[in-house]
Amino acid sequence: MSEKVPFYITESKRLCKENGMDPNVIASPKKFMTDKELRSKRKSYSEILSVVSYFSNKLLDSLKGTPLLIVISDSEGYLVDMVGDETIKSTVEQFGIKQGSLFTQQDTGTNVISLALQQRHPISLIGDNHYHKFLFEVACYGAAFHYTDEDNLLGSVCIMMPISFQNPLFLTMLSQVVDSIERELLLRKQNKKLNIMNQIMLSRTRNGIVITDEKGITTEFNDFAQKISNRSRKSVIGKRIFESDLTGDYFKRVIEFEEKFENEELKFINNNGEKVVCLFDAQPIYEDVKIVGAFGQFRDITDRYLIEEKYNYLAYHDDLTGLPNRRYIQKEIDLLIQTNKSGSETKLAILFLDLDRFKVINDTFGHSNGDILLAEVSKRLLGCLGRNDQLARMGGDEFIFLLKDFQDENYVIEIAECVLEEFKKPFTVNSNEFHTTVSIGIAIYRNNTITLEEFMIYADNAMYKAKSQGKNRYVVYTSDLLSNSIEELQLETDLRKALENNEFILHYQPQVCNKSEKIVGAEALIRWNHPKFGLIYPDKFIKIAEETGLITQIGEWVIEQACIQNKKWQDSGMKSIKIAVNLSAQQFFKRNLVGIVKKVLDHTGLDPEYLVLEITESMAMDFDYSLKVLRQLKNLGICISIDDFGTGYSSLSYLKKFPIDYLKIDRSFVKDMMEDHNDVNIVKAIITLAHNLRLEVIAEGVETKEQLNFLKKYQCDKIQGYLFSKPIPSEQFEQFYASLQKNKIIYM
């Protein structure tokens, strides 16, 4: 259900209509200041502009990479400054939106500047909230600022951006910026009312005050200045300020060149060894026109700085254990892999750890005790770290060691054995004693051609091998992990004959509509019906297919068979559904991909709208090629899905420009989202992002009703996972589908 449009927008649009304004005709400002008037206005507004510009630039820096324009108006609606994206700026200037133009509802209709000046709270004006249609692709946020002591309206700060970048957080950020502006303006106003020596009670202020004579000799140095400079008043009074490592250069330029400084960010360590961050101002003191000294003040912004620092820290760290998180460690590993590919020979290994039976402990003793146990586990694991090693929490009960620059591979085994030894001792949580073990998968980097994803998969596979062998052990990844009994060479030989011998089959995993709980699609997943070893899953042979180049032929077979099967279902009277097929990287970058897909569609007679091709984020890194191919595929009428979203090369740029229909939330986020609030936030963010971009969201790997209820709550569009059905053969899928027509989904 869409949100109710605020009354002031409804009223504004009503007035536009009453005034006979045509929504299809661009409405531009009618009144402009002359150059002289604008210069005069900016001069009279100079102090206000300096404050507003400072915090506006802070906002721009924090949103670097987002195309937006910040416009500043006076209390009447005249634009006095514009900063931000030059493309947007040059575009709006064509419509008369420039410095000196006057914004009124009578001339420009429903606009964010006029409405912001009228309201007592920040506002948003997005899409068709505007009256004029040429603004429907624009999102605007605005807020007025005042002298808060007199409630005197001074002007407004407004943000404009393409609608695809809209986000409710911008309104919160703008509110914080305006609050900072008003506080700073009020401080400056109060300072002006008093004489330079009387405006501050030097002994009581929380600002550090330094005053010098015309030669730079310090004449006043209050308590707070002593605190943040680590120098006593006695050691400073009567001394030349120019000798100060902290502020000497600033004061020298003030006295010798009459320069002024505002909001210089300075960092100090106080006498207690605590970090202090201040904004520093300095200016000349005049008697008539003669400089008689210099005045400097420090304003403490430590709390705000530390909060920002904490937010940056949390983005790359786990708040439960304090360890680096998945995002951080994957970035570190990928950097080392890229360094090795460029010619370096850094030794590298990862240990992927998963606690054994942790879910039982969590379910039996509660999540709070489970969290305490995880914190205790992290402390023990830290004790196994070498000088060059790093430990991270991947989420849930999974941890990872990153080992580098070790002498030989025996060191890697020693770390694994150290970890196993640590788990022989019980853990004590709230007087309860817990015994748990750990399964470890080890991957040692030996191949400069592998990617981060492949490297992580190797360690993950080895970890699962350790679990399958009885847990409480480590397994080093080797190629023979592809199968216990099948040698890789034999698999490669057999794989070359598999297509010719018609040994591949497709299984189909239903995709269920979150609202209707009806099957609306399926993902086609390949299986190898080996004549000797039976059914083999793709994790055992896809890597070989990629290495031998067979993946392209296999991928083309999958597309054709999926289309044949879907058309067969339609012809039998089954309600039409979409079939999703994964594209491999080699297949995607093959030059005749579009022609092959078109040929299959023509041959099978399947309507293109019932075929979905899934690509991974890594394929989007070659932006120009990917954009060209996706557009050509889209022109055929098929749908495009981004698979495993959030685990690879995530970029708003490709999401905005690529012709995408669906985002698939990777199962790794779904798996732990009921236990890891970081994964919860990621899943919610992906759903919100996709819906803002008018994309549908599919969550894969859904296995529990709790996960389903969460995804329903946040309006995920489609669900795929073992909760409904594992991938099944076509005949079984038909039976499953038929039973669904009579009954609702029966959870597996």
Q: Taking the CA atoms of 689, 695, 700 and 705 in sequence, report the sign of the dihedral they define.
A: positive
Is residue 688 exposed (0-12), middle (13-18) or buried (19+ Cβ within 10 Å)? middle
The string of pLDDT tens digits covering residues 320-352 is 888 999 888 999 999 888 888 877 777 899 999
Residue 201 in this model has a pLDDT that exceeds 80 = no
740/727 Cα distance (integer angstroms) = 16
Residue 607 in this model has a pLDDT that exceeds 70 = yes
Q: Which fold would CATH assign to domain 7-193? A: Beta-Lactamase (3.30.450)
Residue 194 in this model has a pLDDT that exceeds 60 = no
pLDDT at 484: 44
Q: Under a CB-based contact definition with an 8 Å cutoff, are residues 663 and 690 in contact?
A: yes
Of 137-146, 167-176, 303-312, the poorest mean pLDDT is in 303-312
Structure tokens at 229: 């400079």
The string of pLDDT tens digits covering residues 514-556 is 888 889 999 999 999 988 888 888 888 887 888 788 888 999 9
Residue 148 in this model has a pLDDT that exceeds 80 = yes
124/143 Cα distance (integer angstroms) = 9
DSSP codes joined into one string, 555-596 = HHHHHHHHHHHHHHHHHTTPPP-EEEEEPPHHHHTSTTHHHH
Q: Where are the domains of the chain?
A: 7-193, 206-305, 316-477, 501-742
Structure tokens at 317: 């760290």
Antiparallel, parallel or unpaired: β 79-84 and 261-269: unpaired
Which amino acid is residue 442, in one-letter code? I
Confidence of residue 482 (pLDDT cuts 50, 70, 90): very low
pLDDT at 611: 95
Antiparallel, parallel or unpaired: β 639-645 and 662-665: parallel
Domain 316-477, CATH class in plain words: alpha beta
The string of pLDDT tens digits covering residues 614-665 is 988 767 667 788 889 999 999 999 999 988 776 655 556 677 788 999 988 8
pLDDT at 1: 38
Mean pLDDT of 604-620: 87
Mean pLDDT of 291-315: 79
Residue 669 in this model has a pLDDT that exceeds 50 = yes
Region 501-742: CATH code: 3.20.20.450
Mean pLDDT of 413-431: 90
Q: Under a CB-based contact definition with an 8 Å cutoff, are residues 724 and 748 in contact?
A: yes
What DSSP element (H or E) covers 300?
Answer: strand 290-300
The string of pLDDT tens digits covering residues 113-141 is 999 999 988 999 999 999 999 899 999 99
Mean pLDDT of 96-115: 91
Confidence of residue 31 (pLDDT cuts 50, 70, 90): very high
Contacts of 345 (CB under 8 A, 6+ apart): none
Cross-strand bridge partners of residue 266:
278
41/73 Cα distance (integer angstroms) = 11
Half-sphere exposure of 61 (CA within 13 A, CB side): 7
Q: Under a CB-based contact definition with an 8 Å cutoff, are residues 714 and 683 in contact?
A: yes
Q: Under a CB-based contact definition with an 8 Å cutoff, are residues 437 and 470 in contact?
A: no
Cross-strand bridge partners of residue 212:
218, 294
Helix axes 326-341, 452-468, angle to 10 degrees: 120
What DSSP element (H or E) covers 153?
Answer: strand 152-162
The string of pLDDT tens digits covering residues 221-277 is 887 777 776 678 888 898 888 888 778 889 999 999 989 998 888 887 766 777 788
222/232 Cα distance (integer angstroms) = 9
Residue 480 in this model has a pLDDT that exceeds 60 = no
370/365 Cα distance (integer angstroms) = 7
User: Do 7-193 and 206-305 have matching folds?
Assistant: yes
Region 206-305: CATH code: 3.30.450.20
What DSSP element (H or E) covers 619?
Answer: none
Cross-strand bridge partners of residue 138:
162
Query: C-alpha angle with apex 257: 251 to 263, nearest 5 degrees?
Result: 50
Is residue 51 exposed (0-12), middle (13-18) or buried (19+ Cβ within 10 Å)? buried
Structure tokens at 724: 């409904």
Contacts of 499 (CB under 8 A, 6+ apart): 550, 553, 554, 557
pLDDT at 653: 66
pLDDT at 15: 93
User: What percentage of the chain has pLDDT greater than the value 70?
Assistant: 92
Mean pLDDT (the chain) is 86
